[in-house]
Structure 1
Amino acid sequence: MTPFRVLVTGSRDWPTPDVVWSALNDALLEALTAGRPLVVVHGACPRGADQHAADWATVARQFATGVVEEQHPADWRPGGILDRGAGFRRNAAMVRLGADVCLAFIHRESRGASHTARLADTAGIPVRRWTT
């Protein structure tokens, strides 16, 4: 069975975890209705929307089978040198892997989350946006 892939992108300072959780609950319902497992793809930022998605996945696995978390951390300091483009390359790689839907949580016009949402749009991945 092909998993239902949900790409979560969002601001590091996304202020409302309940919005992320509600969106992921809806995605889980879509996956379950289609009889497909759910894969939650995110950039592994230790705060903000990525962390809210990770927390949701941890709890969801306790109540639903077939929930998988797929983390894609950016390599910000290869060789100890700051690489400011690492997040944008990671975002593009996540989009290239494909998704059934992209959930974009954009706070204060976040460049990274906006970038990922634009790439997903271009790739034909439906994007659901929340902005603050």
Structure 2
Amino acid sequence: MDSGAIRRRLTLGTVVLAAAGTLALVAPASAQAAANGSCAGRLVKTLPFSTGTVHVYKRNGYVCAITLPKKPGTKRMMSVSVQARGNRPVVDKGKYAHLAGPVTVHAGHRCVWIRGSVGRGSVSSGWTLC
């Protein structure tokens, strides 16, 4: 084998190792995005209630929320809403099997009111994240 072939194989090996390392770093982030229902940002509040949980995320002045049922898989009425103080609420309501939302509002530095429900259970945060 000549030195050119050796260099090509070493380069190819380096590229393959770099790609594998990049996939190892990207995979946890994409798994987190799928787990949180496509809300960007960091988890800042969890609001549990009898039939589910509302997860609230915040990033660059935006607040995003999703409602997850305790027992996913069966279609039932679910809702999630986020209201920045001084504005109307943004609502996602319907019959869902896995989650309601995401709903996102620009809150800036204003307080928000978060509500969520699954079936007959519900939660309401009051003014929070001020």
Give me the TM-score of the superposition, normalised by structure 2: 0.25
Give me the TM-score of the superposition, normalised by structure 1: 0.24
Ranked by relative contact order (alpha carbons within 8 Å, sequence separation 6 or more), the top structure is 1
Rg larger in 1 or in 2? Answer: 2
